[in-house]
Structure 1
């Protein structure tokens, strides 16, 4: 058992958190490069919280320009125990209208230009992501979002596309035909990297629009921005309710996420690349020694 240190990755429209006490900024260097921004530390309801704006303050980084490895590594070095990802998305289902919140439990990764693993030549690792989110953390987040007044759905599939352009109508209809619930550009490889770092991860998706699968629907960026602002206000309230509702003591994840690397490293000790092993000190130091 240990104390919670909640990491929050804020997506489009969420660049700061209200109500943080003892706020301080921390810049963390990682062997994977610079994270999106300085980490913002503070406390809410007695819970330690670390906030990282995914796109940087002022939104200078597009989805493909985010250094996902550096972000996850920095949060791990900061002592984060669990990550709540918050992101904007487009809906692929009629029953998920603009303004709805969705706690996803599955992903389809269609990104193509991103570094997707901490492991590689010289230290090969394979982790299971069959159930890519932490069910416990997702449940806590769903309850908190309802307290914040959000219309919440639990369970659904997030289609991650490369972007930065939105979908063509043909792509949107294809993604819908696959049974996906929402489409976005940022949760992959973020969720996979969190699992490699043995960090329980939950994804709260805020619907800004119906994607263009509906006849006659075209994305109106001005309308999306208005929904973004309303969603961001509820997201900030959700974070506060989540921090205040977490159990006083933190048990290990029932899914065993903190031990995801127990049998993941295939490269024999004598064949490992020392330079890569050194870079993995925060992410995989528990198993690499």
Structure 2
């Protein structure tokens, strides 16, 4: 089947449908099953963009039940070569505050049982994830966030937990003691699967609160988390509108050549 084409993909929440102009909904069939929802394909500043809510249109898929392979492969079928992956996250460090954005450069995987590769054989394929996020996209995100006056941390490590439960205080203190900045439930295997398909991927971590064991920080209320979440979404929309037209048309980054020499 011939699908409409886009060059940039966005995974996010249902509040971002309004970002796209001249938008159409597309149902995509993949070898890995159905993605979380139909994909909306439209334009931002003249660039063709595909949007997919990773948790589904009604947020019906918890993190451990998302079909990450179908979601990422759907983007591939639509011609996407770059994916922006914003997500709500907790902070593990006092200096990373609610309302801040973190453009992560590393992840630590603490999930289990998730389908996390496209290469199940018969050809053995080892794709490097030493630097899992696209350096070109990361720099554009950092530069545009600064121009917009958004408090942004230009690097950080996100530890990805299985979910749907949150961490105990002991687990949170352990993660923080490693120096990791951000905690989340969806970055793995989403980011790595993009790399396996030679798609550039940029994480934008939207900090809503401090995790349970953050030293010297009192737990926040649910009302405060919702307030910060809504403020972050408005800032993210401005950032995406600034970032997408600034992405270069050509790619010559590590992501575009990830499969070179990977098959054995």
Task: Flag the structure with larger Rg.
Answer: 1
- Residue 216 of structure 1 deviates from its aligned partner by 6.6
**Which 4+ stretches in 1 moved above 4 angstroms?**
none
The question of 1:52 aligning with 2:52 is answered yes
The question of 1:74 aligning with 2:74 is answered yes
Residues 243-272 of structure 1: CA distance to partner in whole angstroms, max 9, x if unpaired?
A: 23234xx222332x2221122122xxxxxx
Residues 146-170 of structure 1: CA distance to partner in whole angstroms, max 9, x if unpaired?
A: 3444211100100000011111000
- List runs of 5+ in structure 2 lacking aligned partners: none
Distance 1:221 1:203 in 2: 25
Distance 2:68 2:147 in 1: 30
| 8 Å Cα contact 1:212-1:219 kept in structure 2 | no
Deviates more, 1:230-239 or 1:17-26: 17-26
* Residue matched to 1:204: 204
SS in 2 for 1:16: helix
Residues 196-230 of structure 1: CA distance to partner in whole angstroms, max 9, x if unpaired?
A: 01001110000000111135733533322221111
The question of 1:18 aligning with 2:18 is answered yes
Distance 2:220 2:116 in 1: 29
The question of 1:110 aligning with 2:110 is answered yes
C-alpha RMSD of matched pairs (Å): 1.7
* Residue matched to 2:142: 142
* Residue matched to 1:195: 195
| TM score, norm. by length of structure 1 | 0.85
* Residue matched to 2:227: 226
Residues 22-75 of structure 1: CA distance to partner in whole angstroms, max 9, x if unpaired?
A: 111111000101111111111111111111111111211100111000011000
The question of 1:253 aligning with 2:252 is answered yes
Q: How many residues are treated as equivalent by the alignment? A: 259
- Residue 129 of structure 1 deviates from its aligned partner by 0.5
Distance 1:38 1:157 in 2: 31
Distance 1:46 1:67 in 2: 30
| 8 Å Cα contact 1:112-1:162 kept in structure 2 | yes
